[in-house]
Amino acid sequence: MSLMLQEIREQPAALERTIQAEQKKIEKLGKFLIERDINLIVIVARGSSDNAALLGRYLFEITTGIPVSLCAPSVFTLYKANLKLNRALVIGVSQSGEGVDINTVLESAKNSGAFTIGITNQANSSMTKIADETLLTHAGLEKSVAATKTYTGQMLHFYLLAAALSGSESVYKKIPQFCETALRLESEVKELVQRYVFMENCVVVGRGLNYGNSYELALKLMETCYVVAERFSSADFFHGPLAIIERRFPVILFAPQGVTKQSSIDLLTRLNELHADSFSITNDQTIASLSGRALRMPPEIDEFLSPIPFIIPAQLFAAHLAEAKGINADAPRSLSKVTITV
């Protein structure tokens, strides 16, 4: 069994540990930030952490009404810009806490008057010495190059922070159990991947709160299975990229119940007309019936809470597909666990 698979299975426990260890600190932090009257949130990250940041953007803007910017680190590291951030909250996200560009942005933001938060899995990392406050993902050591449990831990922190900043109910407490339920799909996933062993290209689609998941699954397929995977919002997909679809072309959808449901239905209807190979992760009967294949999640998972549990079967799909292709998912060629960019 790969380390990646082991770490995927550890996620419910890791998420529960994170809630128990960090909840009170974040509630206190939320009160402090409300009194500070921040009017902008900036999130800086790379790789899987940047995909988690896409969820953070949706959560903060939906629940707090505060505009969110996803930072381009080069603005700070290469172009040496000085931004006006005296009423901003700047959040750096890095599983290792050693991303040079992420930490450079945090340092520059502090000098520009921002309050800074670091989200990391490493308690003694460089990030913890720079940020004003550190939030830990209590995932334990992540040995596989492909991030899984640190990705969901980072997403969870955005839920905790959004709840603290908005004063909303702590609905995120249901997430670990939903993830436990999602893991029960593993045998079904293992059987499903046999159809995709020879897949070389695909498209991954997710809209709204699951938009970040479309990026994350595409990344996992590229780094662990060597599949060229493009990712889109279902809304953007109709604006040009639909032209690449032909008979049997694989399209993978994150398609929960909720406000994005009709977008998924519209896209699946068109994909069926084009005879594409559609595969959905969904908890909606109509979407499942329109899909060529579907992994069925529990209907009680609200769209607002769907991103973390919905990524679990996607991670399983990538891990088992790599195994079926004869690829070591734990050590993708040309990659290392910590990537240094400036």
Q: Are residues 247 and 137 in the same domain?
A: no
Say what the pLDDT of residue 338 is.
53
Say what the pLDDT of residue 86 is.
93
Helix 211-225 vs helix 307-324: angle between axes, to the nearest 10 degrees?
A: 20
Q: Are residues 61 and 92 in the same domain?
A: yes
Q: Are residues 48 and 69 in the same domain?
A: yes
Whichever domain contains 155, its CATH number is 3.40.50.10490
Q: State the Rg of the chain over Cα.
A: 19
Q: Are residues 64 and 148 in the same domain?
A: yes
- The three-state secondary structure class of 12 is helix
- Give the global pTM: 0.95
Q: Are residues 215 and 169 in the same domain?
A: no
> Is position 247 within any domain?
yes
Which DSSP string corresponds to 146-213?
Answer: S-SHHHHHHHHHHHHHHHHHHT---GGGGHHHHHHHHHTTHHHHHHHGGGGTT--EEEEEE-GGGHHH
Q: Are residues 44 and 81 in the same domain?
A: yes
**To which H or E segment does residue 314 belong?**
helix 307-324
CA distance 197 to 11: 26
CA distance 253 to 268: 9
Residue 201 in contact with residue 227, Cβ under 8 Å?
Answer: yes
Q: Are residues 147 and 195 in the same domain?
A: no
> Is position 38 within any domain?
yes
Say what the pLDDT of residue 335 is.
53
Q: Are residues 36 and 57 in the same domain?
A: yes
**How many structural domains are present in the chain?**
2
Q: Are residues 159 and 94 in the same domain?
A: yes
Q: Are residues 86 and 195 in the same domain?
A: no
Domain C-terminal end among 130, 153, 173? 173
Say what the pLDDT of residue 244 is.
77
> Is position 85 within any domain?
yes
Domain C-terminal end among 133, 153, 173? 173
Say what the pLDDT of residue 236 is.
83
Say what the pLDDT of residue 82 is.
86
Range(s) of the domain holding residue 191? 184-324
What CA–CA distances, in Å, run from 177 to 10, 60, 183? Answer: 12, 23, 10
> Is position 123 within any domain?
yes
Q: Are residues 12 and 144 in the same domain?
A: yes
Say what the pLDDT of residue 242 is.
77
Residues in the chain predicted with pLDDT less than 70, given as ranges, are 240, 334-342
Q: Are residues 237 and 165 in the same domain?
A: no
235 phi and psi, to 5 degrees?
Answer: -70, -45
